[in-house]
Amino acid sequence: MVVNLIVFFGLALVAVASAVGLLLSKNAVYAALNLILNFVTVAIFYVLLAAPFIALLQITVYAGAIMILFLFVIMLLGAERLSTGSVLPWQRPTAFALGAILLLEAVYIIIFRSGPATEAAAAAAGFGTPATIGELLFNTYLLPFEVISILLLAAMVGAIVLTKKRKQIG
C-alpha cells in the first residue's frame, strides 16, 4: 500500500512537472517532448489501475502516432521556436481567475469531502483485457464502431480534397 502511494505521488509529480514544462516551454520541440512524457506517466497510471490495454493504447496512439505526427509537422514547417505574439489584455487576468477558482475548488473538496476515502472495489476478472474489449466492441458496440469508422474515412477524404492543388487548364 505504501509503495503504491509512493509510486503514485512520484508519477503525479512527474505528470504535473511535465505539464508545467509543456506550458512554459518556448521551444515547440521541447513542448512536444514534455507532452510525450506526460502521456507516458498517464499510461503508467493506467497500469497501476490494472488496465494494461488502455495503457498500451495511450502509449501507441498518443505518445506514438499523434506526437510523432506533431514533431514531424513542427520539423517540416521549421516552427521550432514559438512566436511571442501579442496577447489580448483580458487573457492573463482570466487565466489567473480561472486558476484561482480551480485551486479553491480543489481545496474545498479536500477539506470538506464527506467521509474518509475508501479503497476502490476490485475489477471483474476479465476487465480491460483485449479479448473482453474486442468482444464488446464487435458485439455490443458494433454499430457505433462502424459509424465512427465511416466518419473517420469521410474526414480523411475531406482532408485530402482540401489540400489537393487544383490543376490549371490552359
Q: What is the pLDDT of residues 72-99, one digit of tens each?
A: 777 777 665 656 666 778 888 998 999 9
pTM of the model: 0.61
Rg of the chain, C-alpha, whole Å: 22
Q: What share of the chain is helix, strand, coil (3-state, %, to 5)?
A: 75, 0, 25
Alpha carbon distances (Å) from 156 to 68, 72, 112, 160, 162: 18, 18, 48, 6, 10
Please give the mean pLDDT across all residues of the chain: 83
Scanning 25-66, the segments in alpha helix (DSSP H) are 28-48, 52-57
Residues 53/128, Cβ–Cβ less than 8 Å: yes
Angstrom distance (rounded) from CA 15 to CA 157: 36
pLDDT of res. 100: 95
